[in-house]
Amino acid sequence: MHGFDFTVSEEEEAVVPGRKVLVTGATGLLGRAVFREFQNNGWLVIGTGYRRARPRLLCCDLTDEDAVRGLLQEYKPNAVIHCAAERRPDVVERHTEAAVNLNVHATSTLAKEAAACAASFLYISTDYVFDGRNPPYGEDDCPNPLNVYGRSKHEGERETLRHCPGAVVLRVPVLFGEVESVTESAVTSLWLKVQEGTESCTLDHCQQRFPTDARDVAAVCRKLAERARQDPSVRGVFHFSGNEQMTKYEMAVAIAQAFKLPSDHLIPLTEQPAAAAALRPINSRLNCSRLELLNLSVQPRPFTSAVTDCLWPFTADKRWRQTVFH
Ligand code: NAP
């Protein structure tokens, strides 16, 4: 491990007995939201990152088995929420070995070490484990990933459940949230297209997506972790998803309308691009009934207001935040 500069004081430990959580990928889009959600709800949170870890978080290369073992043995968390992954399908296609090391092998090590220290384990997975030909997909439906990213995440699910039979796998679709730069999420990236203004710009209008706010996923993670502590039957695969079906074209138009910007330059593309680097499912809608039946779901935030919340810091005129819904 690249050294710790994070210490948990005895006082902090005393405040939250049995509520110590390790969040991997805490520098990332989802991990940041998960970190905050647990911190705001009486958990002691230990967050790890890698390239962006310093100075606030622990820096740990999760592909280093000894470092992962040391991390778990030192902090002995009660729960692990494993968000770290290489989640960009085209990058996974080009740098497969590195991505598999993180998405599969690091997951396997973490699951083993979590089981060894009796921590509950929650692995974040994706709707891309499905081929998208026969939606909606239930938790027990058979995965058939179309690209290497989806295969690596499915393999990560299997490693999780093999080493940690009491673990939870939570599959989610495309995410957005508070971003450091708009390109951090496929959804907020559309801001750049919206802003192109006069230049006409084509956007996919074939692939059906269910954009989901990372804050909602974080709330579900906390509910799952808290319930799993009391009820060992809360394990296996769960789905959570926003409930508004939209193509990228429709998301961009919704963003333009929310900010009262022109959308005439946005052109819907109704044919799949022939040379896409990694194949994507056409519609991998998730059926989320298992979470709902156990009362572990949250009401997804409406897309327009949630995405506006995330994008307002990138507007030239910050008064949008106050004025846009009034
Ligand atoms: P992200 O923003 O790309 O963050 C990835 C995280 O992984 C970062 O914190 C990064 O740390 C960390 N990481 C990368 N290499 C590492 C290494 N060798 N050792 C330790 N940590 C490393 O990802 P995200 O969007 O939050 O995704 C979170 C989870 O949701 C993933 O499991 C992903 O598969 C799943 N998911 C995401 C989406 C989506 O649309 N984003 C959709 C479905 C499912 P540094 O940045 O500090 O290096």
- The pTM assigned to this predicted structure is 0.94
Q: How far is the CA of 47 from the centre of ligand 1 (A)?
A: 13
Backbone angles phi, psi at 198, to 5 degrees: -85, -25
What is the position in ligand 1's atom list of the atom closest to the CA of 184? Answer: 2
Which is the closest atom of ligand 1 to the Cα of 52? 47
Q: Are 172 and 238 in contact (CB under 8 A)?
A: no
Q: Which of 83, 102, 148, 182 to mutate to test the pocket of ligand 1 (most atoms within 8 A of CB)?
A: 83
Q: Which parts of 104-188 are beta strand (E)?
A: 120-126, 168-172, 175-176
pLDDT value of position 12: 57
Question: What spacing in Å lies between the alpha carbon of 102 and ligand 1's midpoint?
Answer: 10
Q: Hey, what amino acid is at 180?
A: E
Q: Is it the case that residue 11 has pLDDT exceeding 70?
A: no
Q: How far is the CA of 24 from the centre of ligand 1 (A)?
A: 8
Cα of 27 to ligand 1 centre, how many Å? 8
Q: How confident is the model at residue 323 (pLDDT cuts 50, 70, 90)?
A: very low
Q: Helices 107-116 and 65-75 sit at what angle, rounded to 10 degrees? A: 30
The answer, yes or no, to whether any atom of ligand 1 lies below 6 A from the CB of 102, is yes
Whether the per-residue pLDDT at 325 is higher than 50: the answer is: no
pLDDT reported for residue 320: 52
Mean pLDDT of 151-174: 98
Check the CA dihedral 153-155-156-157 and report its sign. positive
Structure tokens at 81: 């929420």
The band of 284, judged by pLDDT with boundaries at 50, 70 and 90, is very high
Angle between helices 107-116 and 148-163 (to 10 degrees): 20
Q: In the prediction, which pLDDT does 58 show?
A: 96
Distance (angstroms) between ligand 1 centre and the Cα of 245 equals 24
298, with CB counted inside 10 A (0-12, 13-18, 19+), is middle
What's the whole-number mean pLDDT along residues 61-80? Answer: 97
